[in-house]
A and B are shown apart, each in its own frame.
Chain A
Amino acid sequence: MSAVVAEHDHHDHGPAKGLLRWIITTNHKDIGTLYLLFALAMFFVGGAMAMVIRAELFEPGLQFVDPAFFNSMTTMHALVMVFGAVMPAFVGLANWMIPMMIGAPDMALPRMNNMSFWLLVAGVLLLASTLLMEGGAPASGWTLYPPLVLQTGKALPFAIFSVHLLGISSIMGAINIIATIFNMRAPAMTLMKMPMFVWTWLITAFLLIAIMPVFAGAVTMLLTDKFFQTSFFDAAGGGDPVLYQHIFWFFGHPEVYVMILPTFGVASTIIPVFARKPLFGYSSMVYATAAIAFLSFIVWAHHMFTVGMPIAGELYFMYATMLIAIPTGVKVFNWTATMWKGSMTFETPMLFSIAFVVLFTMGGFTGLMMSIAPVDFQYHDTYFIVAHFHYTLVPASVFILMAAGYFWLPKWTGHMYNERIGQLHFWLSAISVNILFFPQHFLGLAGMPRRIPDYAIQFADWNMISSIGGFIFGASQLLFLYIVVDTIRGGTGEKVTDEVWEDASKHSLEWTLSSPPPYHSFTTPPTSIPTEHI
C-alpha cells in the first residue's frame, strides 16, 4: 500500500503555534516526542521510588519510611516503570520510527494517536494521585492480588480506573500500529523486508490487544468484589482468589514480552549497523519473535507454582516455560553471529546493545532456573526473582531504550550527542547495574523474601552493596538526562549527515531522510528499499 498526503487543508500544514501544538497534534513525530519525554520523566519518578526502597534496605531495621509506605513504594515503582516508563517509551519509538521505516507519511489513525497519548497521561495522573490519599497508595505489589489488595483504602477505585485508562490507551496505540504497518507501507516494502523493529512491534501490538482487556476484566472483578457484593475471588461465595492470579498472569506474562520484544527489535537494528554486516538470520529472527509471542500465552502459571495447582498443571507449565528458551536462544545466537567477524566499532549505542546481549542472557538463564517447578519453590517470592526480572528489564529493556536514544537522537534533532559523556554514562551504568542486581541473586538464594522493609541480619552485607550500586546507577542516569537536553539544544555543534552512522542508509529508510526529518516523513513513497538489515 502506498500513501500520498492529501492536500486538503492547504492553509495549515505545519504544526499549531505554542503550547497548543503539543496538545492537539496529530503528527507522529510530535506524538512520539511527547511519549518519549513523558516516559523519561516517569523513569525518574519511578527511579526516585526505587531510591527510597534501596535507602530503606541499606541497613536492617526501619530507618526512613514506615512499612506501609515502603510497600506502596514497591507497588508504585513497578506500576510507574512498567506502564509509565518502559511501555510508553517503546510506543514513542514506534511513533517516531515506524512511519519512517516503512516509507509512510504518518501513522494510519492520527487523531486516535493523540488520544492514546493523553489517556496515558490521564491514567498515570490518576495512579499518582493515590499517593496523596487516605490509606495511602496501593501497597499490594503491582500484581494487585486479592484479598490483600481489597484492604487498600480510598486509593483502590482510582488505581483500578487508572488501569482501565492505561488499557484503553495501549489498545488504541496497538491498533494504530497494526493499521499503519499493514496499510501504510511503501509498495516495495514487503513484509519480509521490514526492519526487525517494525516486525517486533507488529507482534507486540497483537499481544497488547489480546491482553490489556484481560487485565481490565480482572481489575473490574476486584472492583465489584469490593463495592458490589460479588464473590469472584471469595471462597465463601464459591469463588477463588487463585482465579485472579490465573487471569492476572494470563495478562502478566505476555506483558513482560510486550516490554522485551521491541527491545529485541531495537537490538536487531543497532547491532548490524555497528558490526557493518547484515543481521544474521533475519527470517529466523521473525519466526522466533512470533514463536515467543505465541508461547507467552500458554506459560502463565509459572508465576504460580506454589499456589497449589494440580501436579499435571505444574508439569505442563514447567515444560511449556522451558520451551521459551529455544526461540530466545535463537535470538541471542543470531546477535552474536551478526557481530562475529564484523568490523565493529563501539559507539555508545553499540556498547549498550552489547551489554544488553550479555546481561539479558543472564536474566534468561535465571528464568530457566525458575521454570523448574520444584526448585522454584525455593526461589519464588525471594530476591532471586527480583534479580531475574531486573536483569531482563533494566540492563535489557532500559539499556536498549538508552541505546535507541543515542542511536536516533542525531536523526531526530540533527545534532550529535557528546560521545565522551555517552561512554561515561554507559560504563557507570553497566558496572553499577551489576553491583545493584547481582548480589540480589545471593540474597534470594539465601532466603530473603521480596517486598519487605526490614530483614534478618545475615542479609546485611549484600543489601548494603546492592544499595550502593543502586545509588550509583540512579545518579548516573542524570548524565543521560543531561545528554538528551544538551543534544536537543545543539549537542557538540557538529552537523550530522542524513545517514548519521556509516552506511546506515543501506540498513533502513529513516537514514535516507534529512536530519531532522521533514514534518511529514514520506509524502511520496520511496521506490527502493534498503536491504542490508535482512
Chain B
Amino acid sequence: MSTSDTYYIPHKATWPIIGTVGLVIMLAGFANYLNGSSIGPTMMVLGLLVFIVMLTGWFTLQSGESESGMYSTQVGISYRMGMMWFIFSEIMFFAVFFGTLWYTRNLSVPWLGGEGTGAATKELLWPAFEAAWPTNGPGKVGGEFESMGAWGLPFLNTLILLTSGVSCTWAHHGLLAKNRDQLIKGLAATVGLGLLFVTFQAIEYHEAYTDMGLTLGSGIYGSTFFMLTGFHGFHVCVGAIILGVVLFRSWKGHFQPENHFAFEAAAWYWHFVDVVWLGLFVFVYVI
C-alpha cells in the first residue's frame, strides 16, 4: 500500500450510543416481560424501534460515505476483517449448541441409561429408562412426541438454501461483470429463496406443535432441535434482510466491481448460514 493512500477516520459518531440505548431498553424490557411485569412488552417494542432507527441511520451514513469514495482499499480491508471475525464469533456461538447435541447424545443420555459408571445411579433413580435417541429423558418431559424426519420439508429446504448460494454467487458475477440486471435478478432470487426457506420452516414448526407433540419443552430432543433450528432460522431472516438492503442499494445503482464491501459481507454471511444448515441437516435431521 502506498503512503499516498488515505485512511478515513470518522469523527463524532452518534449512532453507537443511540444503538446502545435501544438495545438496553429492548433487553431490559424482555427481562421485565419474563419477570411478569406489564411494562415489558412496551419497552421491547420501543427499544426495537430505536434499534431499527439506529441501523437505518448508521447504514445510510456508511453507504453514502462508501459511494462518495471516502473508503480506500485499506479501509475496505478493515471492514472485511471485521466481517470475517464477526462470522467466526457466530460459528463459535453455533458450536455451543452443536456441542450440546453431541454431548447429550453420546455421553449424558447413555450415562443416564446406565452406561459407564452410571449403572447404580440408573438402578436407584430411573430403573425403567432405556437410553435412545430421540428422547425426552427419564421424566418423559413434555409427554409423547414424534421426532422430525429428514426427507420431507427439511430436504426441500436444503435444496432451497443450496440453490440460493448459487444464485448469490451468480449475482456476484453479475456485479463483477458490470451486469446490473444479473446482479439484481440474482439478489432477488436469493432473497426470495431465503423467504421460502423460512416459510417452509414455519410450516414445519406448526406441524411439530400441532400434530407431532414436538415442542421446545419436549425434553432434550425438543430443546436441541428447536434451539439449533430456531437460531438458524433467525439467522436466515437476518441474512435475508441484509441481502434485501443490498438488493435495494443495487437497484439504486450502488456498488462497483472494485468497491462493494456490503455485497461481499452479505454474501459471506449468507454462505455461513448455508453451511450451518448443512451441519444441521446432517446432525439434527439425518443422523
Residues of chain A whose beta carbon lies under 8 Å from any beta carbon of chain B = 1-9, 12-13, 16, 23-26, 105-106, 108-112, 114-115, 118-119, 121-122, 125-126, 154, 157-158, 160-161, 164-165, 171, 174-176, 178-180, 182-184, 187, 209-214, 216-218, 221, 223-224, 227-232, 234-240, 242-243, 246-247, 308, 310, 520, 524-525
Neighbouring B residues of A524 by C-beta, 8 Å: 3
From the candidates A110, A119, A157, A161, name the one contacting B20 in the complex (CB within 8 A). A119
Q: Is B99 an interface residue (CB 8 A)?
A: yes
Q: Is B248 an interface residue (CB 8 A)?
A: no
A sample of 23 inter-chain contacts (CB < 8 A) reads: A1-B77, A4-B4, A4-B5, A4-B6, A5-B6, A26-B11, A109-B82, A111-B13, A114-B13, A126-B27, A160-B31, A164-B27, A165-B27, A231-B217, A232-B100, A232-B223, A235-B112, A237-B137, A238-B219, A238-B221, A240-B104, A246-B103, A310-B117
In the complex, chain B residues 1-54 whose Cβ is within 8 Å of any chain A Cβ: 1-17, 19-21, 23-24, 27-28, 30-31, 34-35
10 additional A-B residue pairs with CB within 8 Å, beyond A184-B78, A187-B1? A2-B1, A122-B21, A161-B27, A232-B223, A232-B224, A236-B137, A238-B108, A238-B109, A238-B135, A310-B117
Q: Are B15 and A239 interface neighbours, CB within 8 A?
A: no
Neighbouring A residues of B128 by C-beta, 8 Å: none
| Complex-state Cα separation, A214 to B91, whole angstroms | 10
Q: Would A520 and B9 be within 8 Å (CB), given that A217-B93, A224-B227, A230-B227 are in contact? A: yes
Chain B nearest CB from A197 CB (Å) reads: 20
From the candidates A106, A122, A178, A308, name the one contacting B85 in the complex (CB within 8 A). A178
Q: Is B272 an interface residue (CB 8 A)?
A: no
In the complex, chain B residues 99-137 whose Cβ is within 8 Å of any chain A Cβ: 99-100, 103-104, 107-109, 111-112, 116-117, 135-137
Q: Are B90 and A213 interface neighbours, CB within 8 A?
A: yes
| Complex-state Cα separation, A227 to B33, whole angstroms | 11
| Complex-state Cα separation, A232 to B223, whole angstroms | 7
Neighbouring B residues of A184 by C-beta, 8 Å: 7, 78
Neighbouring B residues of A520 by C-beta, 8 Å: 9
Q: Are A212 and B15 interface neighbours, CB within 8 A?
A: no
| Complex-state Cα separation, A264 to B198, whole angstroms | 48
Q: Would A106 and B9 be within 8 Å (CB), given that A175-B86, A227-B34 are in contact? A: yes
Neighbouring A residues of B216 by C-beta, 8 Å: 224, 228-230
Q: Is B97 an interface residue (CB 8 A)?
A: yes
Q: Is B222 an interface residue (CB 8 A)?
A: yes
From the candidates B79, B89, B104, name the one contacting A171 in the complex (CB within 8 A). B89
The 6 nearest A-B residue pairs measured at CB: A217-B96, A236-B139, A238-B137, A229-B217, A115-B16, A238-B220
| Complex-state Cα separation, A165 to B78, whole angstroms | 23
Q: Are A4 and B9 interface neighbours, CB within 8 A?
A: no
From the candidates A182, A209, A223, A310, name the one contacting B89 in the complex (CB within 8 A). A209
| Complex-state Cα separation, A332 to B15, whole angstroms | 45
Q: Are A26 and B95 interface neighbours, CB within 8 A?
A: no
Smallest Cβ-Cβ distance to A129: which chain B residue: B28
Q: Are B219 and A231 interface neighbours, CB within 8 A?
A: yes
From the candidates B12, B30, B70, B219, name the one contacting A157 in the complex (CB within 8 A). B30
Q: Would A231 and B103 be within 8 Å (CB), given that A4-B7, A26-B9, A247-B96 are in contact? A: no
Q: Are B92 and A211 interface neighbours, CB within 8 A?
A: yes
| Complex-state Cα separation, A9 to B65, whole angstroms | 12
Q: Are A109 and B78 interface neighbours, CB within 8 A?
A: yes
Q: Are B9 and A5 interface neighbours, CB within 8 A?
A: yes
Q: Would A126 and B139 be within 8 Å (CB), given that A5-B7, A13-B11, A217-B96 are in contact? A: no
Smallest Cβ-Cβ distance to B118: which chain A residue: A308
Q: Are A6 and B70 interface neighbours, CB within 8 A?
A: yes
Neighbouring B residues of A182 by C-beta, 8 Å: 81
Neighbouring B residues of A115 by C-beta, 8 Å: 13, 16-17, 19-20
Neighbouring A residues of B15 by C-beta, 8 Å: 111
Q: Are A3 and B74 interface neighbours, CB within 8 A?
A: yes
How many residue pairs bridge A and B at CB < 8 Å?
A: 241
Smallest Cβ-Cβ distance to A223: which chain B residue: B34
| Complex-state Cα separation, A115 to B1, whole angstroms | 29
Smallest Cβ-Cβ distance to B61: which chain A residue: A111
From the candidates B17, B23, B27, name the one contacting A23 in the complex (CB within 8 A). B17
| Complex-state Cα separation, A306 to B232, whole angstroms | 35
| Complex-state Cα separation, A441 to B198, whole angstroms | 57
Q: Are A157 and B10 interface neighbours, CB within 8 A?
A: no
Q: Is B278 an interface residue (CB 8 A)?
A: no
Q: Are B139 and A237 interface neighbours, CB within 8 A?
A: yes
Q: Is B142 an interface residue (CB 8 A)?
A: yes
Interface range, B side: 35 or more
In the complex, chain B residues 196-254 whose Cβ is within 8 Å of any chain A Cβ: 215-217, 219-224, 226-227
From the candidates B78, B97, B99, B135, name the one contacting A183 in the complex (CB within 8 A). B78
Neighbouring B residues of A165 by C-beta, 8 Å: 23-24, 27
Q: Would A230 and B223 be within 8 Å (CB), given that A122-B23, A239-B108, A310-B117 are in contact? A: yes
Neighbouring A residues of B19 by C-beta, 8 Å: 115
Q: Are A110 and B13 interface neighbours, CB within 8 A?
A: yes
From the candidates A26, A218, A237, name the one contacting B13 in the complex (CB within 8 A). A26
Q: Are A158 and B72 interface neighbours, CB within 8 A?
A: no
Chain A nearest CB from B195 CB (Å) reads: 26
| Complex-state Cα separation, A237 to B218, whole angstroms | 8
Smallest Cβ-Cβ distance to B8: which chain A residue: A6
Chain A nearest CB from B38 CB (Å) reads: 14
Q: Are B220 and A232 interface neighbours, CB within 8 A?
A: yes
Chain A nearest CB from B101 CB (Å) reads: 10
Smallest Cβ-Cβ distance to A236: which chain B residue: B139
From the candidates A6, A13, A122, A230, name the one contacting B7 in the complex (CB within 8 A). A6
| Residue with the greatest number of chain B CB neighbours at <10 A, chosen from A175, A216, A224, A525 | A175
| Complex-state Cα separation, A13 to B95, whole angstroms | 44
Q: Are B220 and A1 interface neighbours, CB within 8 A?
A: no
| Complex-state Cα separation, A3 to B103, whole angstroms | 47
Q: Is B166 an interface residue (CB 8 A)?
A: no
Q: Are A214 and B96 interface neighbours, CB within 8 A?
A: yes
From the candidates A8, A160, A243, name the one contacting B108 in the complex (CB within 8 A). A243
Q: Would A118 and B16 be within 8 Å (CB), given that A8-B8, A239-B108 are in contact? A: yes
Neighbouring A residues of B88 by C-beta, 8 Å: 209-210
Q: Would A308 and B117 be within 8 Å (CB), given that A229-B217, A243-B103 are in contact? A: yes
| Complex-state Cα separation, A71 to B175, whole angstroms | 59
Chain A nearest CB from B45 CB (Å) reads: 17
Q: Is B159 an interface residue (CB 8 A)?
A: no
Chain B nearest CB from A219 CB (Å) reads: 10
Q: Is B141 an interface residue (CB 8 A)?
A: yes
Neighbouring A residues of B142 by C-beta, 8 Å: 229, 237
Q: Is B138 an interface residue (CB 8 A)?
A: yes
Smallest Cβ-Cβ distance to A5: which chain B residue: B9
Q: Would A234 and B141 be within 8 Å (CB), given that A26-B10, A175-B85 are in contact? A: yes
Smallest Cβ-Cβ distance to B95: which chain A residue: A214
Q: Are B28 and A126 interface neighbours, CB within 8 A?
A: yes
| Complex-state Cα separation, A1 to B104, whole angstroms | 47
Neighbouring B residues of A114 by C-beta, 8 Å: 13, 16-17
Q: Are B81 and A231 interface neighbours, CB within 8 A?
A: no
